[in-house]
């Protein structure tokens, strides 16, 4: 028995695996988040003995809202402005008034210490006892809640960082050392990553401790798609900044691959945001990311996020144009149809269009206020001179355009044709928009999982236990012989195997994966390839695919070593059932008017729980279930596969 808990902006999702069977549940997210977890576990009659894997957005939200800890940064003398200077990249090239977001640690809490190590790890300026004592008093006087330490070239020789960490421990606040979290070159990204870790550590530590008092043995999802212990997550929370979205990608890819569609685009639309990821036969991982304009350099699933969700607010801007998001109504007060406020959202637009039946929302346990939704949409319609249905349709179209652009970023802009992929739609709102997005992108097939609204929670149960390690090598590829690579990886693997055994995994359930960051000599960026077989050929091929050219005769260097230790977890059992007859009349709940393409027309209503493998029907139709609602527009056909997935395909074979 184990439980996956995913806390979103609107709903907290639960998936319980017990005796080989899955049970799902959803509750509204509480303001303190823990309250919703306690309520959901009580509903499921679970006590604190059940092991829990948890996906969290606490670190992400702390960065987005700038409500982290009062942190300090310790650097080498002469490099105190590292966070202020950053890189010279300009997100908006022609914006003359553009401003960078302020650093998480301001200059007045950045402290420089007299010490210096060169790029080979040789000590140029020793760290004296007096300088160390003075630093401790400076940090003490700043009254900080956490400290980040990032010295120049500490990845090559961590002695000075270790001494500083030991001295600062007397202050009784969390201390993050760069050679522990990120022993890699690139001074700015390393300092930024360590600053992020210090900035969110007190918040995450309190959160994990509070949650741990009410649940069983607790693991936290990482941004890389594997879980770690609550203890590690509390000490290195920078690894969890994309925790929730990563679980969704893991669950979606697992289901799609099992169903025979390993080439997929995952589309997760919740109440606040939409997360998309491209999976060309495998989950794509990167070591470079940004949250709220702040660089982080830890392994993360390559996910693109936009502020478009079911709770996204719709309104007119100063020029009278309709905009949707990124602000959200959240769970409280929520959309107007929740009956608590008159905030107009995408969800209200679907209610007015008839695509979200008020009497079937949340499995019928929560009835939507149609009159409130109509009043909110009607007020906007009066402003723009449209009929309410036209205004509602406009809201959905604007939201779709934002999500369409997000999918193009991860596919078209990276040399992939979205028509070669299956769109996997999940999240509470994803299946409502999936067919429209697929049609706009030319995607021929949409897969809606059996439990789309709680797929991220299911992904938590699928995810393996993962620990990532890295070390800068700066080794010419011609010198990267198998013996040399084995020697370089030996200390990383010794640590990795020991820590995975300490997690309780037998050797047969542990897998070690070697990866490397490679580049042509002179380049300032790297590509990540597996260090097995002819990895140079793999690098050249990847460079060709990513940038359109390769140069096999140019010298290559191995910049960073990366080790991924995987503790294999048994996923929930998933077997295909035989397909029955196509007649879906047993799941039919009647017809009702629904607006598609600007016109109201009779649409069939189906109960997802009654649909059996092999059954099929055509659009227009709406499929209702406890955790999500699926829209099947005219011209689309739906069928249930052996795994209970709902497959939507355009009736003429093209989108």
84: pLDDT strictly greater than 70: yes
The pLDDT score that the predictor gives to residue 183 is 94
Q: Is 8 helix (H, G, I), strand (E, B) or coil?
A: coil
Query: Which tokens belong to 611?
Result: 């649909």
Q: What is the 3-state secondary structure (H, E, C) of 420-460?
A: HCEEEEECCCHHHHHHHHHHHHCCCEEEECCCHHHHHHHHH
Mean pLDDT, residues 133-142? 96
The pLDDT score that the predictor gives to residue 202 is 95
101: pLDDT strictly greater than 90: no
Give tens-digit pLDDT for 603-652: 999 999 999 999 999 989 999 998 899 999 999 999 999 999 999 998 76
Q: Is 341 helix (H, G, I), strand (E, B) or coil?
A: coil
pLDDT band at 449 (very low <50, low <70, confident <90, very high): very high
As to burial, measured by CB atoms within 10 angstroms (0-12 exposed, 13-18 middle, 19+ buried), residue 79 is middle
Domains of the chain: 65-204 (3.40.50), 465-567 (3.30.1490), 585-650 (no CATH)
The residue with greater pLDDT, 474 or 32, is 474
Own/partner pairs, 496-505, CB within 8 angstroms, 24+ separation: 496/467, 496/469, 496/563, 496/565, 497/565, 499/467, 499/565, 500/465, 500/467, 500/565, 500/567, 503/229, 503/465, 503/567, 505/465, 505/567, 505/568
pLDDT band at 125 (very low <50, low <70, confident <90, very high): very high
The residue written with tokens 């497959």 in the block is: 647
Nearest-angstrom CA–CA distance, 13 and 461: 13
Nearest-angstrom CA–CA distance, 526 and 557: 9
Q: Which of these, 115, 125, 105, 236, lies nearest to 167 by C-alpha position?
A: 115
Nearby residues of 99 by Cβ (< 8 Å), 6 or more positions away: none
Per-residue b or e along 537-573, where b marks 16 or more CB atoms closer than 10 Å to that residue's CB: ebbbeebeeeeeebeeeeebbbbbbbbbbbbebebee
What ranges in 463-580 are assigned the alpha helix state H? 482-502, 535-547
As to burial, measured by CB atoms within 10 angstroms (0-12 exposed, 13-18 middle, 19+ buried), residue 166 is exposed
Which residue(s) pair with 230 in the sheet? none
Q: Which of these, 617, 604, 605, 602, lies nearest to 648 by C-alpha position?
A: 617
* 8 Å CB contact between 486 and 59: no
Nearby residues of 80 by Cβ (< 8 Å), 6 or more positions away: 107, 110, 111, 112
Nearest-angstrom CA–CA distance, 234 and 251: 24
State the sign of the Cα–Cα–Cα–Cα dihedral 216, 222, 225, 226: negative
Ranking 25-29, 57-61, 491-495 by mean pLDDT, the lowest is: 57-61
* 8 Å CB contact between 148 and 71: yes
81: pLDDT strictly greater than 80: yes
Q: Which of these, 33, 56, 7, 8, lies nearest to 241 by C-alpha position?
A: 56
Which residue(s) pair with 263 in the sheet? 280
Question: β-pairing, 599-607 with 621-624?
Answer: parallel
Q: Is 13 helix (H, G, I), strand (E, B) or coil?
A: strand
Which residue(s) pair with 228 in the sheet? 220
Give tens-digit pLDDT for 407-434: 999 998 888 999 999 999 999 899 999 9
442: pLDDT strictly greater than 80: yes
Give tens-digit pLDDT for 289-348: 887 778 899 999 998 888 888 888 999 988 888 999 888 887 778 899 998 888 999 999
Helix (H) or strand (E) holding 230: helix 230-235
Nearest-angstrom CA–CA distance, 616 and 636: 11
Nearby residues of 445 by Cβ (< 8 Å), 6 or more positions away: 261, 422, 423, 438, 647, 648, 649
Q: Is 307 helix (H, G, I), strand (E, B) or coil?
A: coil
Q: What percent of the chain has pLDDT over 90?
A: 69
Give tens-digit pLDDT for 194-221: 999 999 999 999 999 988 888 889 999 9
pLDDT band at 139 (very low <50, low <70, confident <90, very high): very high
Give tens-digit pLDDT for 478-502: 999 999 999 999 999 999 999 999 8
Nearest-angstrom CA–CA distance, 289 and 305: 12
Ranking 106-115, 557-566, 646-655 by mean pLDDT, the lowest is: 646-655
Q: Which of these, 515, 563, 85, 94, lies nearest to 295 by C-alpha position?
A: 85
pLDDT band at 654 (very low <50, low <70, confident <90, very high): low
* 8 Å CB contact between 174 and 198: yes
Give tens-digit pLDDT for 346-385: 999 999 999 999 888 877 778 899 999 999 999 999 999 8
Q: Is 245 helix (H, G, I), strand (E, B) or coil?
A: helix
Nearby residues of 275 by Cβ (< 8 Å), 6 or more positions away: 245, 248, 249, 266, 268, 303, 304, 305
Which residue(s) pair with 146 in the sheet? 71
The pLDDT score that the predictor gives to residue 100 is 79
The pLDDT score that the predictor gives to residue 655 is 47
Q: Return the number of other C-beta atoms located less than 10 Å from residue 8's C-beta.
A: 28
Mean pLDDT, residues 435-464? 93
* 8 Å CB contact between 141 and 182: no
The pLDDT score that the predictor gives to residue 467 is 92
Question: β-pairing, 304-306 with 300-301?
Answer: unpaired
Q: In what order do the strands lie in the sheet with 175-177?
A: 110-113, 71-76, 146-149, 175-177
Query: Which tokens belong to 147?
Result: 């400290």
The pLDDT score that the predictor gives to residue 545 is 84
How confident is the prediction for the chain on average, in pLDDT? 91
Which residue(s) pair with 23 in the sheet? 16
Helix (H) or strand (E) holding 188: helix 187-212
Q: Is 325 helix (H, G, I), strand (E, B) or coil?
A: strand
Nearest-angstrom CA–CA distance, 309 and 325: 8
42: pLDDT strictly greater than 50: yes
Mean pLDDT, residues 275-285? 92
Which residue(s) pair with 519 in the sheet? 557
* 8 Å CB contact between 147 and 141: no
Per-residue b or e along 492-518, where b marks 16 or more CB atoms closer than 10 Å to that residue's CB: bbeebeebbeeeebeeeebeeebbbbb
Nearest-angstrom CA–CA distance, 30 and 8: 10
């Amino acid at each position: 028995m184990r439980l996956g808990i995913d806390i979103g902006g609107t709903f907290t999702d639960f998936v319980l695996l017990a005796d080989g069977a899955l049970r799902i549940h959803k509750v509204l997210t509480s303001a303190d988040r823990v309250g919703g977890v306690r309520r959901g576990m009580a509903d499921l009659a679970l006590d604190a003995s059940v092991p829990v894997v948890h996906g969290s957005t606490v670190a992400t939200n702390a960065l987005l809202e700038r409500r982290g800890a009062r942190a300090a940064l310790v650097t080498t003398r002469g490099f105190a402005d590292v966070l202020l200077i950053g890189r010279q990249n300009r997100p908006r090239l022609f914006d003359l008034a553009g401003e960078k977001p302020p650093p998480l640690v301001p200059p007045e809490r950045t402290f420089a210490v007299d010490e210096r190590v060169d790029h080979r790890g040789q000590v140029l300026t020793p760290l004296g006892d007096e300088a160390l004592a003075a630093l401790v008093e400076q940090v003490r006087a700043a009254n900080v809640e956490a400290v980040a330490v990032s010295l120049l070239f500490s990845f090559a020789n961590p002695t000075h960082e270790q001494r500083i960490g030991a001295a600062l421990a007397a202050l009784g606040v969390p201390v993050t050392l760069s050679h522990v979290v990120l022993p890699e070159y690139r001074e700015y990204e390393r300092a930024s990553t360590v600053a992020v870790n210090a900035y969110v550590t007190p918040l995450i530590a309190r959160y994990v401790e509070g949650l741990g008092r009410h649940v069983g043995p607790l693991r936290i999802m990482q941004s890389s798609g594997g879980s770690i212990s609550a203890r590690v997550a509390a000490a290195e929370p920078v690894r969890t900044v994309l925790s929730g979205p990563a679980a969704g990608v893991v669950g979606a890819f697992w289901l799609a691959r099992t169903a025979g569609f390993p080439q997929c685009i995952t589309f997760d639309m919740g109440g606040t945001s939409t997360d998309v990821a491209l999976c060309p036969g495998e989950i794509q991982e990167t070591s470079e990311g940004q949250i709220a304009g702040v660089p982080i350099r830890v392994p993360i699933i390559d996910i693109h996020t936009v502020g478009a969700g079911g709770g996204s607010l719709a309104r007119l801007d100063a020029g009278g144009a309709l905009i949707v998001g990124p602000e959200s109504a959240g769970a409280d007060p929520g959309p107007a149809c929740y009956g608590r406020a008159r905030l107009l959202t995408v969800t209200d637009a679907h209610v007015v269009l008839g695509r979200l039946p008020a009497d079937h929302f949340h499995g019928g346990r929560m009835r939507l206020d149609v009159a409130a939704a109509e009043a909110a949409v009607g007020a906007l319609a009066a402003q723009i001179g449209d009929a309410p249905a036209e205004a509602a349709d406009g809201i959905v179209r604007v939201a779709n355009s934002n999500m369409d652009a997000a999918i193009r970023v991860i596919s078209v802009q990276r040399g992939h044709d979205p028509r070669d992929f299956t769109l996997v739609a999940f999240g509470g709102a994803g299946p409502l928009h999936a067919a429209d997005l697929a049609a706009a992108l030319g995607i021929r097939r949409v897969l809606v999982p059996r439990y789309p609204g709680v797929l991220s929670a299911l992904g938590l149960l699928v995810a393996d236990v993962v620990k990532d390690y890295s070390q800068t090598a700066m080794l010419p590829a011609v010198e990267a012989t198998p013996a040399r690579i084995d020697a370089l990886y030996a200390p990383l693997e010794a640590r990795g195997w020991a820590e995975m055994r300490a997690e309780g995994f037998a050797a047969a359930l542990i897998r070690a994966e070697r990866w490397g960051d490679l580049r042509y000599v002179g380049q300032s960026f790297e590509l990540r390839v597996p260090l097995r077989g002819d990895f140079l050929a793999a690098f050249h091929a990847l460079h060709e695919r990513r940038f359109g050219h390769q140069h096999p005769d140019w010298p290559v260097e191995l910049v960073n070593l990366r080790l991924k230790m995987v503790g294999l977890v048994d996923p929930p059992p998933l077997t295909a059932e035989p397909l029955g007859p196509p007649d879906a009349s047993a799941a039919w709940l009647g017809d009702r008017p629904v607006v598609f393409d600007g016109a109201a027309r009779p649409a069939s209503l189906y109960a997802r729980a009654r649909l059996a493998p092999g059954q099929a029907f055509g659009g227009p139709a709406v499929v209702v279930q406890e955790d999500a609602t699926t829209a099947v527009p005219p011209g689309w056909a739906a069928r249930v596969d052996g795994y209970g997935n709902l497959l939507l395909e355009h009736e003429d074979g093209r989108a």
